[in-house]
Amino acid sequence: MQNYNIMELMICVAARELGNGRTAGIGTGAPCAAALLAQKTIAPNLVIMFESGGVDPILPELPVSVGDSRTFHRAIMAGTMFEIMQTCSRGMVDYAILGGAQIDMYGNINSTMLGKDYFKPAVRLPGSGGANDFASLCWRTIIMSVQERKRLVSKLDFITAPGWLEGGESRAQSGLPLDTGPYRVITNMAVMDFEPESKWMRVISINPGYTFDDIQTNCEFELLKAPRIFTTKPPTALELRVLRDEIDPNRIIIGR
C-alpha cells in the first residue's frame, strides 16, 4: 500500500534532479517545494532565484506569490527582475522548473490560451509570466505535470514557452542559447527525457503501480521508450518527513 500521494511523489522526484551547488529559477507551488526539499536533503547548497529579484533566500515558509517577502527572506540579495533574467541569459542559472496547461512531445509548454483561435480563445490563461524566459535561458528545464491526455497533447493550442520547438536541431537554429532545453518531464506516472536526435519525449522511468500502457493511454502522442526503463524510487521516509513536517505542514501544495 503506497503511503504517499501523487503530488508528494512528483515533488520528491523533481527534487532529486537538482544538483548541489547549482542554481535554479523557481516559481511558487510544487517547484518551490521541490527546490526546498532538495536543499533539505541532497542539495544543501542549491541556490534558489525568484524572477522578481530574490536570490538565495532562507525560505521560512512557502511563498504565496513569486514576489512576496518570503522570496527574499534573509536572502543574499533582493535585486531586480532584469538582474535575474540577465543572469539566466549569461548562462549562470542551471535549472528552471515549470508546469503548464498543455505540453507536447518536444516539451513545448502552453500557459496562454486554449482553443483554435488566439483572438477568440475558448479559455484565456495567464500567459508566459517568466516561463518563456526561464525555458529560453536556463540550461535545463524540468517540467512537472499530471499525466492526462488533455495535458500531454500532440499539438499545442499555443506555444508559450519553448521546448525543443519542432524537434531535431530546430531549437538550436531558432536563436535560443545553445545547449539549453527541456531535460525531464515528471508526471504522477513516469519520468521522461527527450531522445537525443529527434528530441521526442521518451519514458526513462515508470512510477510504482503503473505500466507503460497506463502512461501511453494518458498521453495523446506516441511515447518513445528508453533502452532501459527503470522503476522510479518511491519517496523515502526522510523525504516525506521533511516535505510534510518542515516544508508544507499546512498541506497547501501536497494536499492538492
Partner 1 sequence: MIADKAVQSMGPLFTNPDPDEARKYFHSKSRTKTDKLMNLKDAVERFVCDGDYLAIGGFGTNRTPIAACQEIVRQGKKNMGFAGHTSTHDFQILAAGEVFNRVDIAYIIGLEARGMSPCAKSYMESGRVKICEWSNFSLAARLKAAAMGIPFLPTRNMMGTDTFRYSAGKTMICPFTDKTLALQPALYPDVSVIHVHEADITGNCRIRGIVISDDDLARASKKLIITTERLIHNDEIRNDPARTVIPYYLVDAVCEVPYGAYPTGMPYEYYSDEKHLKQWLTVQKNPTAFKSFLKSNIYDCPDHAAYIELSGGIDRIQELRAKELLLHKEEIHAEL
**For residues 128-167, which are near partner 1 according to CB under 8 A?**
128-133, 136-137, 156, 158-162, 165
Give the residue, chosen from 31, 39, 40, 52, that forms a contact with partner 1 under the rule CB under 8 A: 52
- Asked whether 187 and 145 are in contact (CB, 8 A), the reply is yes
Write the CA distances from 42 to 12, 14, 144, 238, integer angstroms: 11, 12, 19, 11
Counting contacts by CB under 8 A, is residue 54 touching partner 1?
yes
Residue closer to partner 1 by CB (options 4, 134) is 134
Q: How far is the CB of 20 from partner 1 (least distance, A)?
A: 25
Q: In this chain, which stretch among 39-47, 111-119, 186-194, 210-218 interacts with partner 1, using CB under 8 A? A: 111-119
Residue closer to partner 1 by CB (options 134, 215) is 134
- Distance between CA atoms of 21 and 234, rounded to whole angstroms? 25
| Binding residue count for partner 1, defined by CB under 8 A | 58
Q: Hey, which residues are catalytic here? A: 51
Counting contacts by CB under 8 A, is residue 194 touching partner 1?
no
The number of residues making up the chain comes to 256
Write the CA distances from 110 to 88, 117, 120, 126, 251, integer angstroms: 21, 14, 16, 10, 27
Judging by beta carbons within 10 Å of its beta carbon (0-12, 13-18, 19+), is residue 11 exposed, middle or buried? buried
Q: Which among 144, 132, 130 has a CA at the least distance from the CA of 176?
A: 132
**For residues 74-93, which are near partner 1 according to CB under 8 A?**
78-82, 85, 89
**Binding residues for partner 1 (CB under 8 A):** 28-29, 51-54, 60-61, 64-69, 71-73, 78-82, 85, 89, 108, 112, 118-121, 123-133, 136-137, 156, 158-162, 165, 170-171, 173-177, 252
